[in-house]
Copies of this chain bind each other. A is one copy, B any other.
Amino acid sequence: MRNEDSYVALGLKTWNAQIDRADKLFGRLSSEEILREIAPGRNRLLYLWGHLTAVHDAMLPLLSLGERLHPEFDVAFVLNPDKSRADIPSHEQVLQAWNVVNVELSRGFEKMSWSDWIQRHSAVSEEDFAKDASRNRFAILLSRTNHLSYHLGQAVLGLK
């Protein structure tokens, strides 16, 4: 194993650990519990889960792993705040999308070599990447892992 693989493996291990936490946290909730707010007047658990799903879905094209599977989640969970729209995806739909999106990412990650990870991500131009090589796919992995942790810290407040 090359040294480079060690760093990539650690980035993926940290990502997987947070995904597991999210699976356990959200996966055990009933359809009533998922509608709880994390604090009075704050986002509901369903909104956070849908938000995470949408952000992970957007990683597919960002990392050149494929097209988005659920672009329709953005209107409900990214572009608008919680409780501003009646027609958001259901508990069942979010659960299924969450699982499918993360499996698809996981499959994509398996095919990526250490050198793929330090290539530019698709939202940065070749010109900008030439100026700042830190705008690469590994940076996306680390920042999205932290994004997940950030919202897990909130979601745990909505339990019990």
Binding site for B on A (CB under 8 A): 3-4, 6-11, 13-14, 17-18, 38-40, 42, 114-115, 118, 133-134, 136, 138-139, 142-143, 145-147, 149-154, 157
Instruction: Report copies per complex.
Output: 2
Question: Contact partner of A146 among B114, B145, B157, CB < 8 A?
Answer: B145
- State the CA gap A132–B154 with chains docked (Å): 32
Given A153-B151, A154-B157, A157-B38, the answer on whether A6 and B133 have CB atoms closer than 8 Å is yes
A152 contacts across to B, CB distance below 8 A: 150, 153
Known: A13-B139, A118-B3. A39 touches B149 (CB 8 A): no
Output the least CB separation between A153 and chain B (Å): 4
- CB neighbours of A38 from chain B (8 A): 39, 157
- 6 smallest A-B Cβ distances: which pairs? A7-B7, A39-B39, A150-B153, A153-B153, A146-B149, A149-B149
Given contacts A7-B11, A39-B40, A40-B40, 10 further A-B contacts (CB under 8 A): A3-B3, A6-B138, A10-B136, A10-B138, A10-B139, A13-B139, A14-B142, A17-B143, A39-B157, A149-B149
